[in-house]
């Protein structure tokens, strides 16, 4: 789950991807970060 980034309309958008199967998008709050999901992502990535 290494951080990755893409540019959309000149803005850098950071994301992390893990697992296979249907996509589940986790969104943190305005003042949050990916750390919000640090314990949840590995468990979700194991499920298909």
Q: What is the pLDDT of residue 48?
A: 59
Range list of β-strands (E), the chain: 4-8, 11-15
pTM greater than 0.85:
no
Measured distance CA(29)–CA(24) in Å, rounded? 16
Domain that residue 22 falls in:
4-46
3-state DSSP assignment of residue 29: coil
**In the chain, how many domains are there?**
1
Residues 1-48 pLDDT 10s: 788 999 999 999 999 888 888 888 898 888 888 888 888 899 988 875
């Amino acid at each position: 789950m290494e951080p990755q980034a893409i540019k959309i309309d000149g803005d850098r958008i950071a994301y992390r991807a893990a697992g296979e199967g249907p996509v589940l998008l986790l969104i943190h709050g305005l003042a949050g970060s990916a750390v919000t999901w640090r314990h949840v992502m590995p468990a979700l990535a194991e499920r298909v």
